[in-house]
């Protein structure tokens, strides 16, 4: 049998495997056994395959002695041997942004060191690796080259520990050193999944650390028959067969689906990052190459996952010179000012993960199997629901005006549709158009906006012309109406709130919060806080919680976006987003979180899925553009929608019973092995959380969960989170 990926293991003095097995519980299909200098972990895969990893320890630390897979009834196939884990961290200094400070100053808040220390962890406009930086973006600049530090992993040889957690095993090795970080190396295997998760779990005690990481395995053989295969952004298969010279640095692959496969004649190892937790918020979703290979020397190679150290410019657009220059400037500003990295508050255990998928199949079949975890980067149709996204600045009206035709197809349309999105709630007139114009220009731009949305909507894709004002309600907020509504942000001294325009019909002139609220009431519109407690909404919505407009049912709540990213958090946007949701409902409610994107240019090769979180809105059918959109706005207002990264779906969430005998019942479906589900409730002041472990459940499954509700709860919501950090949550239910 020809085995292309296996190097001969050099004569090495392996240490005795002094493994702590006290937390290990053997079970069928998931076993671990330490014998002399080897720890053998074996488990059952998805298709009755058997998988095996043999671990050893030498003077350089832990290594994978053998990596193997066996088809049912077949022979064991080695996929790799003598594989060494490698991690690399690049870090800079976290700073608050001027964008956060501006609304705080406007609210009269004293800018104290304590405030800056707290708020800097919610920053968006920060680029810690860009030297010297721009003083218009962050205070306390210029950045200095010595702020940027790079470090590779090393190990102080020690023992290991094996822990059973439901239907998974975690194998950990202490003694990991990673520059300013220290901690342990961990591998996790899951019964009924071909996954091997490898991660550095480490903390730093230094202040103000922002970082990115690289994680991989080195020591695969690069001899005849070995190749790396991936699909490029145009979905074409590419390969590299290691016939060239050794690499000095990792070769970043702009691979579609963030997935590449190390293939031999006898099997494959796919490698990819966590689908969503790996990505911090940016202004664009340009694919920067999130997987890599590196030919280390003749006969040896490395593969893994990585983040780029800098943003790149999106492709500017414009038929006219004026628009081209304007978008070039915007593209450059994004690349220079916004690449925030991950947060690492002192003492927090950061989890820097990579996934390896073990397969006896060739690359295309292995890719198809691995992509089941993200449903091939598409949002699965769910009967009775429509998939909606919100808050995108694509400058649609500006683009159509510049093209001088409504039939110019926008760049973002195909990428949106390829994800399985049905409703796009857009936000034009944000760094484009003339939102402050009192009428003539603004109304003409709105008409073009409405006409463009009508022209490019169809039976399966509805474009809703929303907006992100920052005028009367405090901070930034999103507006959405159940029909096209013409309105201006200003009202002259003698100008009525509503006038009949000879060309546009009814036009509103909102010159105050009271005017805007009246418009929303008359037109049955909705408004919600964009990016609460960060960006231009820092200090909100708490600053307006007692206002008439916030208490009104036209004020839906706030927006959800995975910002910031802290790899120690178990949920997406754990601290910022869910504190807003729970606080709002304890203030009175009901208030909800609508998932938002808040990004700009889109092109077909961009990697949208990793950065997107979507809304599943409960609707029997999708309205056409010229139909009544109230089924959408009413479903939002009544909380009949859930937010998801895509891997976890909530088919239904209900409260059964009454009084002290209430139960939260949720029908859940997932792909990655599930981690836990939870019922979160509030009594008007405090928040309670009941977690139920789901670690014993298999991947690609579903279950109905039933969790008792505390007697004093005034509202309750459900959430489910998987082992890769993906998840879904319902909106709060206020039982009557």
CA 599 – CA 608 distance, rounded (Å): 10
Q: What is the CA radius of gyration of the chain?
A: 27
CA 348 – CA 723 distance, rounded (Å): 19
Q: Which of 82, 86, 61 is nearest to 5 (CA)?
A: 82
Find the DSSP H helices in 342-467. Answer: 363-370, 396-403, 413-418, 440-456
Fold held by 384-646: TIM Barrel (3.20.20)
Q: Please write the tens of the pLDDT for every residue from 36-72.
A: 899 999 999 998 999 999 999 999 999 999 999 999 9
Q: Which residues of the chain have pLDDT under 50?
A: 1-11
The listed CATH number (2.40.50.60, 3.10.20.30, 3.10.450.240, 2.60.40.1200) that belongs to domain 647-736:
2.60.40.1200
Pinpoint the residues of the chain covered by CATH 3.20.20.140.
384-646
Pinpoint the residues of the chain covered by CATH 2.70.98.
19-88+156-314+344-372
Do the Cβ atoms of 570 and 721 come closer than 8 Å? yes
Distances (CA, A) of 680 to 566, 717, 733: 21, 5, 10
Pinpoint the residues of the chain covered by CATH 2.60.40.1200.
647-736
Q: What are residue 465's DSSP bridge partners?
A: 426
Residues with Cβ < 8 Å from 323, sequence gap 6 or more? 317, 398, 402
Residues with Cβ < 8 Å from 494, sequence gap 6 or more? none
**How buried is residue 488: exposed, middle or buried, by Cβ count under 10 Å (0-12/13-18/19+)?**
buried
Please report how the helices 440-456 and 396-403 are oriented relative to each other, as an axis angle in degrees rounded to 10: 90
- Predicted pLDDT at 12: 59
CA 87 – CA 352 distance, rounded (Å): 9
CATH code that applies to domain 19-88+156-314+344-372: 2.70.98
Residue 212 host element (H or E) = strand 209-220
Q: Please write the tens of the pLDDT for every residue from 140-171.
A: 999 999 999 999 999 997 889 999 999 999 99
Q: What are residue 643's DSSP bridge partners?
A: 615, 729
Do the Cβ atoms of 303 and 260 come closer than 8 Å? yes
Do the Cβ atoms of 649 and 669 come closer than 8 Å? yes
CA 202 – CA 176 distance, rounded (Å): 8
For the chain, what percent of residues have pLDDT higher than 70? 98
- Predicted pLDDT at 4: 39
């Amino acid at each position: 049998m020809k085995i292309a990926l296996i190097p001969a293991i050099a004569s090495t003095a392996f240490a005795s495997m002094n493994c702590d097995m006290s937390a290990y519980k053997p079970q069928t299909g998931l076993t671990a056994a330490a014998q002399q200098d080897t720890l053998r972990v074996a488990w059952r895969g998805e298709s009755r395959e058997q998988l095996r990893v043999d671990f050893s320890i030498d003077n350089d630390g832990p290594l994978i002695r053998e990596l193997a897979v066996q088809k049912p009834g077949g022979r064991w196939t080695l996929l790799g041997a003598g594989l060494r884990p490698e991690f690399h961290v690049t870090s800079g200094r976290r700073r608050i942004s001027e964008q956060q400070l501006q609304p705080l100053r406007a609210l009269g808040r004293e800018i104290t060191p304590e405030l800056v220390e707290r708020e800097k962890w919610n920053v968006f406009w920060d680029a810690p690796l860009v030297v010297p930086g721009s003083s218009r973006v962050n205070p306390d600049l210029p950045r200095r080259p010595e702020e940027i530090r790079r470090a590779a992993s090393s190990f102080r040889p020690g023992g290991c520990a094996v822990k059973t957690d439901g239907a998974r095993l975690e194998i950990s090795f202490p003694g990991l050193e990673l520059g300013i970080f220290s901690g342990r190396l961990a591998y996790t295997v899951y019964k009924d999944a071909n996954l091997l998760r490898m991660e550095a779990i480490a903390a730093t005690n230094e202040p103000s650390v922002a970082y990115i990481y690289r994680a991989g395995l080195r020591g695969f053989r690069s001899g005849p028959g070995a190749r790396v295969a991936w699909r490029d952004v145009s979905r074409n298969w590419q390969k590299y067969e290691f016939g060239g010279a050794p690499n000095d640095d990792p070769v970043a692959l702009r691979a579609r689906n963030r997935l590449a496969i190390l293939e031999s004649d006898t099997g494959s190892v796919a490698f990819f990052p966590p689908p969503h937790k790996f990505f911090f918020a940016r202004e664009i979703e340009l694919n920067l190459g999130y997987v890599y290979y590196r030919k280390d020397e003749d006969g040896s190679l490395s593969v893994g996952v990585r983040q780029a150290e800098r943003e790149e410019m999106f492709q500017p657009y414009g038929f006219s010179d004026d628009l081209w220059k304007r978008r070039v400037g915007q593209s450059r500003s994004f690349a220079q000012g916004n690449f925030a990295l991950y947060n690492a508050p002192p003492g927090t255990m950061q989890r820097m993960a990579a996934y390896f998928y073990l397969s006896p199949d060739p690359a295309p079949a292995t890719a198809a199997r691995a992509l089941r975890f993200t449903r091939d980067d598409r949002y699965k149709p769910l009967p009775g629901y429509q998939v909606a996204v919100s808050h995108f600045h694509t400058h649609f009206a500006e683009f159509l005006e510049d093209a001088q035709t409504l039939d110019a197809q926008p760049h973002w349309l195909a990428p949106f549709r390829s994800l399985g999105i049905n409703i796009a709630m857009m936000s034009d007139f944000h760094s484009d158009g003339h939102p402050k114009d009192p009428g003539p220009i603004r109304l003409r731009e709105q008409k073009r906006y409405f006409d463009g949305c009508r022209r490019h909507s169809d039976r399966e894709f509805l474009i809703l012309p929303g907006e992100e004002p920052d005028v009367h309600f405090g901070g930034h907020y999103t507006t959405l109406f159940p029909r096209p509504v013409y309105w201006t942000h200003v009202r002259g001294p003698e100008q009525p709130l509503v006038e009949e325009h000879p060309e546009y019909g009814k036009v509103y002139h909102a010159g105050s919060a009271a005017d805007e609220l009246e418009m929303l009431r008359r037109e049955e519109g909705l408004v919600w806080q964009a990016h609460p407690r960060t960006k231009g909404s820092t200090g909100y919505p708490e600053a307006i919680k007692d206002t008439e407009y916030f208490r009104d049912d036209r004020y839906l709540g706030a927006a959800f976006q995975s910002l910031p990213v802290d790899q120690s958090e178990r949920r997406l946007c754990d601290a910022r987003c869910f504190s807003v949701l729970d606080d709002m409902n304890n203030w009175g409610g009901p208030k909800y979180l609508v998932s938002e994107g808040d990004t700009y240019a889109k092109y077909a090769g961009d990697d949208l899925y990793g950065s997107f979180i979507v809304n599943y809105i409960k609707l029997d059918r999708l309205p056409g553009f010229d139909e009544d959109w109230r089924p959408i706005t009413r479903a939002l207002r009544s909380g009949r929608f859930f937010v998801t990264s895509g891997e976890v779906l909530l088919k239904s969430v209900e409260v059964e019973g009454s009084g002290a005998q209430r139960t939260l019942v949720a029908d859940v479906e997932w792909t990655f092995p599930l981690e836990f589900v939870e019922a979160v409730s509030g009594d008007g002041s405090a928040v309670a959380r009941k977690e139920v472990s789901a670690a014993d459940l298999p991947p690609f499954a579903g279950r109905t969960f039933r969790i008792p509700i505390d007697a004093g709860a005034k509202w309750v919501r459900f959430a489910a989170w998987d082992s890769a950090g993906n998840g879904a949550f319902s909106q709060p239910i206020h039982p009557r």
